[in-house]
Amino acid sequence: MTKEQIRQIALRTISLETESVAGLAQYVNDDFINAANAVYATAGRLVISGIGKSAVVAQKIVATLNSTGTPSLFMHAADAIHGDLGMIQQDDIVMIISKSGESPEIKVLVPLVKNFGNPIIAMAGNEKSFLCQNATYILNTTVSQEACPNNLAPTSSTTAQMVMGDALAVCLMEMRGFTGDDFAKFHPGGLLGKKLYLRVQDIYINNPKPFVLPADGIKKIIISISEGRMGMTVVVDENKQIQGVITDGDLRRMLEKETEISSVQATDIMSKGPKMIEADALAVDALDKLRKYDITQLVVAENNKYCGIIHLHDLVKEGLI
């Protein structure tokens, strides 16, 4: 098979699945809205079940809902009729995902859930199916064609299910007023957790805190920069209020211009208005600022009072880059 043939197959697949997703817009109807309101209002959880590829989609939707404020759990349709029905509680809503709505396991499961008295949300591609006919709400995920050349392997249909699940999850997020801070509570680990939780004050305190006074001379400035190992020192007054900064570059530029340096003071060569960040700011905000101004360090301050310095290397060490 040629490169062009492979490319055309991939493009056809993307096109078919794109059309399937676009077609879902017509199915965001009163049933969808009522289902979202029911899940939002329930005191229980949303139990999501399916068989085959739909079960895999169900697990992904459960993961999305749990991480965005809607308590959910996955129940495999085959396992449900062999004991897992016990996970369904009185106030729970059950959503069952199936392309055809006619799978044998689904036909066994649906009457059992109905006997419990739990509302059923059907996510299916056939409104006339057994599943839909016995459901309280229907989330229609009908697709005209699978991307599979034989129109058999679940491709467009599972994509549609995934997108409909995301639509429901995002609606519930906004209905609950779920914020970035709420999101952070459920994602404390890994890089995402660091981006949501790690703050400047968690990092800069481990760094040296070089500073000089406005009237300090060249020797003190050089010693401060050298001992601080941050490539700069901060000029502060007696109350630790920031007056400016002096970098290695400032020193070099001064030496190029001045022949008599014995009388030079910190105020003569400092750069006023240094780029600063508050100690309680997120570390990712510090990274954004460093990138914006194409610099390698920021002065950490609280109400213009000098706290320390955060360096680009600190953020690299934390894995934020």
Give the residue-averaged pLDDT of 193-220.
Answer: 89
Q: Are 132 and 126 in contact (CB under 8 A)?
A: yes
Give the residue-averaged pLDDT of 304-317.
Answer: 92
* Residue 184: pLDDT over 80: no
Work out the percent of the chain whose per-residue pLDDT is above 70: 96
Neighbour tally for 14: CB within 10 Å: 11
Residue 169 is encoded by which pair of tokens? 């999850």
* Residue 187: pLDDT over 90: no
- pLDDT for residue 259: 66
- pLDDT for residue 198: 86
Q: List C-alpha distances in Å: 17 to 124, 142, 157, 162, 294.
A: 16, 12, 8, 12, 41
pLDDT in tens, 96-114: 999 999 999 999 999 999 9
Alpha-carbon distance of 197 to 186, in angstroms, equals 11
* Residue 23: pLDDT over 70: yes
* Residue 35: pLDDT over 70: yes
Give the residue-averaged pLDDT of 271-289.
Answer: 92
pLDDT in tens, 69-81: 999 999 999 999 8
Banded model confidence at residue 270, pLDDT cuts 50, 70, 90: very high
Helices (H), 117-242: 130-133, 156-176, 180-185, 190-197, 218-228
